[in-house]
């Protein structure tokens, strides 16, 4: 039985009764099999599993993207129940931002690269909401997908910098059979765009250089925000129509 808790106060009362390790999967809803993998790992390794669903406005630099973010509450609830999630925390904006975002968490180096260079304020919004969620949920383990590798690295850094007492568990990117990384935004692709989209993964995994991958994508009509190698990973963000997709691979 999955309980649905709406306010931090309600969550806090429930949390006090839980014992043992707490595995936490923070999401913005529109759950897909990538999220399901996070839930399965959390379930396998913890006594208690918490899922949060909160479409966090402070991390959307583009209001169109925020407005069009898919909302699939019935399916999300069914997936949570099927995976024996103990509680779903789904707060409202005023619950999460009683100060209306006067206080925020920011990082001033890595967050300015890659997605940060194209989405001003995005990682401030992510780090701020994740810290709030960690403070409310008080998990022992939190699960993040490697598809959002930069996000995961920044959250790991925040946990270390602020001596937060939990473990971040990375989970490998889940892909469609044709290689497209699972993402809540994929449902917004037209059928023609959906056919084209796997070229992103193909280009970054098969090209010798980031430049070559960018050229291939440009030639196929993608609007490429970046293809960049950082350390041993290659990162990409590219648009098809008004849908922006990201991915990364080990090189």
Catalytic residues: 35
How far is 120 from 94, CA to CA, in rounded Å?
23
The answer to whether 130 contacts ligand PAF (rule: CB under 6 A) is: yes
For ligand PAF, the binding residues in 44-63 under the rule CB under 6 A are: 56, 59
Size of the site for ligand PAF (CB under 6 A): 10
Binding range to ligand PAF, per CB under 6 A, among 36-44, 126-134, 166-174, 214-222: 126-134
Binding range to ligand PAF, per CB under 6 A, among 21-29, 106-114, 190-198, 228-236: 21-29
Whichever of 173 and 207 has its CB closer to ligand PAF, that residue is: 173
How far is 130 from 158, CA to CA, in rounded Å?
10
The answer to whether 26 contacts ligand PAF (rule: CB under 6 A) is: yes
How far is 199 from 197, CA to CA, in rounded Å?
5
Count of helices and strands (H, E) across the chain: 11, 9
Per CB under 6 A, the list member of 90, 105, 126, 197 interacting with ligand PAF is 126
How far is 20 from 37, CA to CA, in rounded Å?
21
Q: Which two tokens stand for residue 123?
A: 């990682």
Return the H-helix or E-strand segment holding 171: strand 167-171
Residues binding ligand PAF (CB under 6 A): 26-28, 56, 59, 126, 129-130, 148, 151
């Amino acid at each position: 039985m999955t309980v649905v808790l709406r306010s931090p106060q309600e969550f806090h009362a429930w949390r006090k009764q839980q014992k043992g390790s707490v595995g936490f999967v923070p999401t913005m809803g529109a759950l897909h099999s990538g999220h399901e993998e996070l839930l399965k790992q959390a379930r396998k390794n913890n006594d208690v599993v918490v899922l949060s669903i909160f479409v966090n406005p402070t991390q959307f630099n583009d209001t169109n993207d925020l407005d069009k973010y898919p909302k699939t509450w019935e399916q999300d609830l069914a997936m949570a129940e099927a995976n024996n999630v103990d509680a779903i925390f789904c707060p409202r904006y005023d619950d999460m931002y009683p100060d209306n975002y006067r206080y925020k968490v920011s990082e001033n180096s890595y967050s300015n690269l890659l997605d940060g260079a194209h989405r001003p304020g995005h990682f401030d919004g992510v780090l701020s909401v994740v810290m709030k969620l960690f403070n409310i949920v008080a998990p022992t383990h939190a699960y993040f997908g490697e598809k959002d590798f930069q996000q995961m690295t920044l959250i790991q850094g925040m946990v270390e910098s602020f001596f937060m007492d939990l473990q971040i568990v990375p989970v490998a990117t889940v892909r469609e059979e044709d290689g497209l990384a699972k993402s809540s935004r994929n449902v917004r692709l037209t059928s023609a765009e959906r056919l084209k989209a796997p070229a992103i993964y193909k280009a970054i995994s098969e090209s010798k250089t980031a430049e070559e991958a960018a050229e291939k994508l440009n030639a196929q009509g993608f609007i490429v925000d970046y293809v960049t190698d950082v350390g041993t990973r290659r990162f990409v963000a590219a648009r098809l129509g008004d849908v922006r997709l990201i991915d990364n691979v080990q090189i």
